[in-house]
Protein backbone atom coordinates (compact mmCIF):
# COMPACT_ATOMS: atom_id res chain seq x y z
CA UNK A 1 0.00 0.00 0.00
CA UNK A 2 1.27 3.46 -0.89
CA UNK A 3 -0.09 6.55 0.75
CA UNK A 4 0.48 10.27 1.09
CA UNK A 5 0.21 12.03 4.45
CA UNK A 6 -0.74 15.60 3.75
CA UNK A 7 -1.01 18.68 5.95
CA UNK A 8 0.67 21.91 6.99
CA UNK A 9 3.88 21.99 9.05
CA UNK A 10 3.16 20.73 12.55
CA UNK A 11 0.02 18.79 11.56
CA UNK A 12 1.54 15.57 12.88
CA UNK A 13 2.50 13.85 9.60
CA UNK A 14 5.82 12.58 10.93
CA UNK A 15 4.32 11.28 14.17
CA UNK A 16 1.54 9.47 12.34
CA UNK A 17 3.96 8.08 9.76
CA UNK A 18 6.03 6.55 12.56
CA UNK A 19 2.96 4.74 13.90
CA UNK A 20 2.32 3.28 10.45
CA UNK A 21 5.95 2.20 10.10
CA UNK A 22 5.50 0.23 13.35
CA UNK A 23 2.06 -1.21 12.61
CA UNK A 24 2.40 -1.98 8.90
CA UNK A 25 6.09 -2.21 8.11
CA UNK A 26 5.75 0.54 5.54
CA UNK A 27 8.68 2.82 4.76
CA UNK A 28 8.43 6.51 5.63
CA UNK A 29 9.78 8.77 2.92
CA UNK A 30 10.10 12.22 4.44
CA UNK A 31 11.59 14.64 1.95
CA UNK A 32 12.31 17.06 4.81
CA UNK A 33 14.34 14.34 6.59
CA UNK A 34 16.19 13.56 3.35
CA UNK A 35 17.11 17.21 2.92
CA UNK A 36 18.21 17.50 6.56
CA UNK A 37 20.40 14.42 6.03
CA UNK A 38 21.97 16.10 2.99
CA UNK A 39 22.64 19.20 5.09
CA UNK A 40 24.19 17.10 7.87
CA UNK A 41 26.37 15.31 5.31
CA UNK A 42 27.49 18.66 3.90
CA UNK A 43 26.64 17.76 0.29
CA UNK A 44 26.24 20.34 -2.46
CA UNK A 45 22.47 19.79 -2.34
CA UNK A 46 22.50 20.23 1.42
CA UNK A 47 24.31 23.54 1.10
CA UNK A 48 21.76 24.82 -1.43
CA UNK A 49 18.77 23.46 0.49
CA UNK A 50 19.70 24.89 3.88
CA UNK A 51 19.23 28.49 2.86
CA UNK A 52 15.89 27.73 1.22
CA UNK A 53 14.63 25.71 4.19
CA UNK A 54 15.73 28.31 6.71
CA UNK A 55 13.67 30.87 4.77
CA UNK A 56 10.64 28.54 4.86
CA UNK A 57 10.58 28.31 1.05
CA UNK A 58 10.36 25.26 -1.20
CA UNK A 59 13.29 23.45 -2.77
CA UNK A 60 12.79 23.23 -6.55
CA UNK A 61 10.38 20.68 -8.00
CA UNK A 62 13.11 19.15 -10.20
CA UNK A 63 15.33 18.40 -7.22
CA UNK A 64 12.50 17.00 -5.11
CA UNK A 65 11.02 14.84 -7.88
CA UNK A 66 14.50 13.46 -8.66
CA UNK A 67 15.07 12.74 -4.98
CA UNK A 68 11.82 10.76 -4.59
CA UNK A 69 12.31 8.93 -7.91
CA UNK A 70 15.76 7.78 -6.82
CA UNK A 71 14.60 6.74 -3.34
CA UNK A 72 11.65 4.79 -4.80
CA UNK A 73 14.14 2.59 -6.70
CA UNK A 74 15.31 0.99 -3.45
CA UNK A 75 14.06 -2.50 -2.62
CA UNK A 76 12.63 -1.51 0.77
CA UNK A 77 9.98 0.61 -0.98
CA UNK A 78 8.34 -2.48 -2.48
CA UNK A 79 6.34 -3.14 0.69
CA UNK A 80 4.70 0.25 0.49
CA UNK A 81 5.64 3.80 1.25
CA UNK A 82 4.27 6.67 3.28
CA UNK A 83 5.06 9.92 1.54
CA UNK A 84 5.48 12.58 4.21
CA UNK A 85 6.05 16.11 2.92
CA UNK A 86 5.78 15.16 -0.77
CA UNK A 87 4.10 16.21 -3.04
CA UNK A 88 4.08 19.86 -2.01
CA UNK A 89 3.12 21.35 -5.38
CA UNK A 90 0.75 20.34 -8.16
CA UNK A 91 3.79 19.78 -10.42
CA UNK A 92 5.18 17.32 -7.85
CA UNK A 93 1.79 15.56 -7.66
CA UNK A 94 1.66 15.23 -11.46
CA UNK A 95 5.23 13.91 -11.56
CA UNK A 96 4.39 11.40 -8.85
CA UNK A 97 1.38 10.17 -10.82
CA UNK A 98 3.57 9.73 -13.90
CA UNK A 99 6.24 7.93 -11.86
CA UNK A 100 3.73 5.56 -10.23
CA UNK A 101 2.10 4.99 -13.62
CA UNK A 102 5.46 4.02 -15.17
CA UNK A 103 6.29 1.67 -12.34
CA UNK A 104 2.72 0.34 -12.16
CA UNK A 105 2.51 1.32 -8.51
CA UNK A 106 -0.87 2.22 -7.05
CA UNK A 107 -1.51 5.27 -4.89
CA UNK A 108 -4.01 3.94 -2.38
CA UNK A 109 -4.92 6.95 -0.30
CA UNK A 110 -4.13 10.60 0.28
CA UNK A 111 -4.80 11.47 3.90
CA UNK A 112 -5.09 15.11 4.82
CA UNK A 113 -4.51 15.84 8.51
CA UNK A 114 -6.48 19.04 8.96
CA UNK A 115 -5.55 21.34 11.83
CA UNK A 116 -6.46 24.71 13.24
CA UNK A 117 -3.57 26.90 12.16
CA UNK A 118 -3.57 28.98 15.32
CA UNK A 119 -2.57 25.82 17.18
CA UNK A 120 0.43 25.26 14.93
CA UNK A 121 2.52 28.02 16.47
CA UNK A 122 2.20 26.41 19.91
CA UNK A 123 2.93 22.96 18.46
CA UNK A 124 6.05 24.13 16.65
CA UNK A 125 7.28 25.91 19.79
CA UNK A 126 6.73 22.67 21.71
CA UNK A 127 8.63 20.65 19.08
CA UNK A 128 11.50 23.16 19.19
CA UNK A 129 11.66 22.84 22.98
CA UNK A 130 11.48 19.03 22.89
CA UNK A 131 14.19 18.68 20.24
CA UNK A 132 16.44 21.37 21.71
CA UNK A 133 15.93 23.51 18.61
CA UNK A 134 17.28 20.78 16.30
CA UNK A 135 15.37 22.23 13.35
CA UNK A 136 16.44 25.75 12.49
CA UNK A 137 13.08 26.32 10.73
CA UNK A 138 11.04 25.57 13.88
CA UNK A 139 10.30 29.11 15.02
CA UNK A 140 7.37 31.49 14.71
CA UNK A 141 8.91 33.66 12.01
CA UNK A 142 9.83 30.83 9.65
CA UNK A 143 6.57 29.00 10.44
CA UNK A 144 4.62 32.02 9.19
CA UNK A 145 6.58 31.83 5.92
CA UNK A 146 6.05 28.04 5.70
CA UNK A 147 2.30 28.48 6.21
CA UNK A 148 2.15 31.07 3.44
CA UNK A 149 3.94 28.66 1.12
CA UNK A 150 1.53 25.93 2.24
CA UNK A 151 -1.45 28.07 1.22
CA UNK A 152 0.04 29.34 -2.01
CA UNK A 153 1.70 26.20 -3.35
CA UNK A 154 0.72 23.12 -1.37
CA UNK A 155 -2.99 23.49 -0.56
CA UNK A 156 -3.81 23.51 -4.34
CA UNK A 157 -2.67 19.87 -4.35
CA UNK A 158 -5.79 18.96 -2.30
CA UNK A 159 -8.38 19.56 -5.05
CA UNK A 160 -6.07 17.68 -7.42
CA UNK A 161 -6.55 14.51 -5.37
CA UNK A 162 -10.14 15.31 -4.42
CA UNK A 163 -11.05 15.36 -8.10
CA UNK A 164 -9.55 11.90 -8.44
CA UNK A 165 -11.58 10.67 -5.45
CA UNK A 166 -8.43 9.81 -3.52
CA UNK A 167 -8.64 12.34 -0.70
CA UNK A 168 -9.62 11.51 2.88
CA UNK A 169 -9.62 14.26 5.51
CA UNK A 170 -9.00 13.56 9.18
CA UNK A 171 -9.43 15.99 12.07
CA UNK A 172 -5.87 16.52 13.29
CA UNK A 173 -6.98 18.41 16.39
CA UNK A 174 -7.88 15.14 18.09
CA UNK A 175 -5.38 13.23 20.25
CA UNK A 176 -2.50 11.56 18.36
CA UNK A 177 -4.00 8.17 19.31
CA UNK A 178 -7.39 9.07 17.86
CA UNK A 179 -5.84 10.42 14.67
CA UNK A 180 -3.86 7.19 14.39
CA UNK A 181 -7.03 5.11 14.89
CA UNK A 182 -8.84 6.95 12.13
CA UNK A 183 -5.91 6.65 9.73
CA UNK A 184 -5.73 2.90 10.43
CA UNK A 185 -9.50 2.59 9.82
CA UNK A 186 -9.14 4.48 6.56
CA UNK A 187 -6.27 2.24 5.40
CA UNK A 188 -8.17 -0.89 6.41
CA UNK A 189 -11.05 0.25 4.21
CA UNK A 190 -8.85 0.61 1.11
CA UNK A 191 -6.77 -2.52 1.75
Residue 53 is a binding residue for ligand AMP (CB under 6 A): yes
Residue 157 is a binding residue for ligand AMP (CB under 6 A): no
Sign of the torsion formed by the C-alpha atoms of 100, 101, 102 and 108: positive
Out of 20, 29, 39, 59, the residue judged to bind ligand AMP by CB under 6 A = 59
* 179 and 16 Cβ atoms separated by less than 8 Å: yes
* 145 and 56 Cβ atoms separated by less than 8 Å: yes
Nearer CB in complex with ligand AMP: 30/180:
30
- Give the nearest distance from C-beta 62 to ligand AMP in angstroms: 10
- Give the nearest distance from C-beta 39 to ligand AMP in angstroms: 10
Nearer CB in complex with ligand AMP: 57/181:
57
Calpha distance 122→10 (Å, rounded): 9
- Give the nearest distance from C-beta 191 to ligand AMP in angstroms: 26
**Distant-in-sequence, close-in-space partners of 179: CB < 8 Å, separation ≥ 6:** 12, 16, 113, 170, 171, 172
Residue 32 is a binding residue for ligand AMP (CB under 6 A): yes
Residue 52 is a binding residue for ligand AMP (CB under 6 A): yes
Amino acid sequence: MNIILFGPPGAGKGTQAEFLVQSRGMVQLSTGDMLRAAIAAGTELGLQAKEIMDAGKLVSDDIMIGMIAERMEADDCRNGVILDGFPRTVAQAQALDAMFGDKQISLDSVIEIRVDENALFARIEKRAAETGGARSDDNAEVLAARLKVYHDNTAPVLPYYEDKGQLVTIDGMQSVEEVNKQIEACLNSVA
